[in-house]
């Protein structure tokens, strides 16, 4: 697999849209969603303003179908860690090599006079109804974020150190994670495809007239966001370690109401109860991951 999934450079000036997929190697539907949109633009010769680049995230983990090999490639983007990895030699761990390669490719593509820089990081979740946007609070009302019509989590990045979105938000990008839903089922593929068209139209890269054959995607986004909170913030994070033996009780899905002292999970220390009323968020139903669950509330 190549690092660059596809690239379009329009004849007219406009924004830069960088689309990352597969930063977690077991979340691969975003790769196919980008290819769908990219291929449609090329096939139908759709007029394009600016530049679109699709980038595969963790190549080694994608090929193995794992979230990561040595460490989580979406929890390492701090100034200190990136600088340290860039100084290392070639003979280092899998994610060290992936980080260096990603950093180099992004910098190479992020050159030019663009009126807007957008970075979209496509992900999936291990639980149902995982359709939402993670964005720094100051970008929560950005037109591109609002156009996706999905729940916006405005402060999750504060609880997750070293995310790509935080690193590149600090560099002036409109950077956000676009969670398409449950890992595996094709619904995430359809939602990511819908969202990418909406992003390109809102950013001014394409017009509704130019991609009229895709115009049903906007209504699909609205339907997926219906009956979900529009904006939430984090009340509680339950962090886990491999030695905890954490197991989430079955049946929980994103944005499901829970009440204080409700039993949610179990680990080597015993039953884990909700510390407060709220909505369960990102309950962990896969073997790898540092976050057992969050509790959020609508704002």
Average pLDDT of adjacent 10-residue blocks, the chain of 299 residues: 95 96 94 95 93 98 95 94 86 88 96 94 81 90 94 88 93 94 74 93 87 66 84 94 94 94 97 97 88 94
As assigned by CATH, the class of the 4-225 domain is alpha beta
Contacts of 1 (CB under 8 A, 6+ apart): 56, 59, 62, 63
Q: Which two tokens stand for residue 226?
A: 């219906």
Cβ neighbourhood burial of 235 (10 Å; 0-12, 13-18, 19+): middle
Task: Judge if 4-225 and 231-298 fold alike in CATH terms.
Answer: no
Domain boundaries along the sequence of the chain: 4-225, 231-298
As assigned by CATH, the class of the 231-298 domain is mainly beta
Length in residues, the chain? 299
Give pLDDT, residue 110.
Answer: 95
Q: Which two tokens stand for residue 273?
A: 């109860």
The DSSP secondary structure of 139-180, one letter per residue, reads GTT-HHHHHT-S-EESSGGGTSTT-HHHHHHTTT-EEEEEEE
Answer yes or no: are the C-beta atoms of 161 and 287 closer than 8 Å.
Answer: no
Give pLDDT, residue 226.
Answer: 80
Give pLDDT, residue 219.
Answer: 78
């Amino acid at each position: 697999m190549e690092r660059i999934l596809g690239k379009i450079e329009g004849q007219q000036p406009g924004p830069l849209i960088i689309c990352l997929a597969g930063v977690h190697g077991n979340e691969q539907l975003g790769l196919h969603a980008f290819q769908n949109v990219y291929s449609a633009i090329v096939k139908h010769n759709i007029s394009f303003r600016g530049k679109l680049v699709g980038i595969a995230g963790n190549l080694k983990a994608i090929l193995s179908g794992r979230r990561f090999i040595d460490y989580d490639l979406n929890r390492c983007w701090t100034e200190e860690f990136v600088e340290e990895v860039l100084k290392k030699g070639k003979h280092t761990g899998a994610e060290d090599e992936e980080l260096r390669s990603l950093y180099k490719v992004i910098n190479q593509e992020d050159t030019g006079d663009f009126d807007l820089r957008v970075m979209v990081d496509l992900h999936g979740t291990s639980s149902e109804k995982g359709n939402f946007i993670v964005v720094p609070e100051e970008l929560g009302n950005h037109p591109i974020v609002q156009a996706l019509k999905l729940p916006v989590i405005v402060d999750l990045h504060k609880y997750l150190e070293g995310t790509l979105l935080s690193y590149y938000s600090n560099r002036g990008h409109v950077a956000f994670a676009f969670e398409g839903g449950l890992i595996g089922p094709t619904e995430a593929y359809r939602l990511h495809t819908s969202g990418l068209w909406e992003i390109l139209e809102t950013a001014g890269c394409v017009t509704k007239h130019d991609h009229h054959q895709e115009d049903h995607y906007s209504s699909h986004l609205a339907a997926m966001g219906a009956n979900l909170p529009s904006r939430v913030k984090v009340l509680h994070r339950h962090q886990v370690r491999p030695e905890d033996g954490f197991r989430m009780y079955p049946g929980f899905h994103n944005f499901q109401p829970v009440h204080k002292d409700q039993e949610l999970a179990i680990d080597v220390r015993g039953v884990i109860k909700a510390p407060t009323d709220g909505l369960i968020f990102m309950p962990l139903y896969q073997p790898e991951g540092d976050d057992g669950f969050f509790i959020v509330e609508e704002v």
